[in-house]
Amino acid sequence: MSKSVVLRGYRFSVYHRIARVVLFEKDVDYEVEDVNPFDAGLPASFLQRHPFGRVPVLSHGAYDIYETVAIARYIDAAFPGPELTPTAAPSLGRMMQVISIVDSYAYRPLIRQVFEHAIFRPAAGEKANEAEIAAGLKASSIVLDALDRLAAEGLVLNGTTFTLADCHLAPMIAYFAMAPEGADALRSRSALSDWWSSVAARPSLVATEPGLPEH
């Protein structure tokens, strides 16, 4: 019997994992439908759900929603379980600030440059570009510094309350820290490093670990 909640996404996508972490935290029973957005000729049925051909897409019955931030907020509002959105305005503001920083400034250097070239491409048997790794590490510095300051402030990323900010950032840091250079950069930011140590073994992250491609 098919489940009423379906998450369509690409196994190795960090945004797919973010959605899975939120679903796990809310204890939602769901099924996964694999969609590789890099494949040519995505089926029309998928493009009807996401006209831009990206992942993930969440379906809840007849309701479809795309964009990871929207998916995460919807899951938190639609299902019982721990509240992942703070009610206090300062913490809510910081949560949204972290999410925006991750999407606007962290994704490219941490994932598309450092992780992709240091870890993902070699695992897939593809050639890495050392210049991309170096550029990503350089660009990541200001991002990690900003996140470290927010972690030190303690309204979010504090290791005690788990919010959508944690859900959004943790999969990015997990990939970034797989690269030795990324792990070194993280260790030099004490508050952010302490936060990561507190959440790295969280069940939602362990259960959603996607592994690496094999060739």
**10-residue averages of pLDDT along the chain (215 residues):** 86 98 98 91 91 96 98 98 98 99 99 99 97 99 99 98 99 99 98 99 98 91
Contacts of 213 (CB under 8 A, 6+ apart): 12, 120, 123, 124
Cα dihedral 6→12→14→20 (10° resolution): 30
Q: Which among 15, 47, 78 is the end of a domain? A: 78
- Distances in whole angstroms, Cα of residue 88 to Cα of each of 106, 116, 168, 184: 26, 37, 19, 34
The pLDDT, as a whole number, for residue 209 is: 98
CATH classification of the domain holding 143: 1.20.1050.10
Q: Is residue 130 domain-shared with residue 187, that is, in the same domain?
A: yes
The pLDDT, as a whole number, for residue 2 is: 56
The pLDDT, as a whole number, for residue 39 is: 85
The pLDDT, as a whole number, for residue 1 is: 43
Give the position of tokens 């019997």: 1
**Paired residues of 34 in beta bridges:** 9
Cα–Cα distance between 137 and 114 in angstroms, integer?
Answer: 7
191 within a domain of the structure (yes/no)? yes
Q: Is residue 114 domain-shared with residue 61, that is, in the same domain?
A: no
Structure tokens at 174: 């997990």
Sheet strand arrangement including 5-9: 31-34, 5-9, 57-60, 63-66
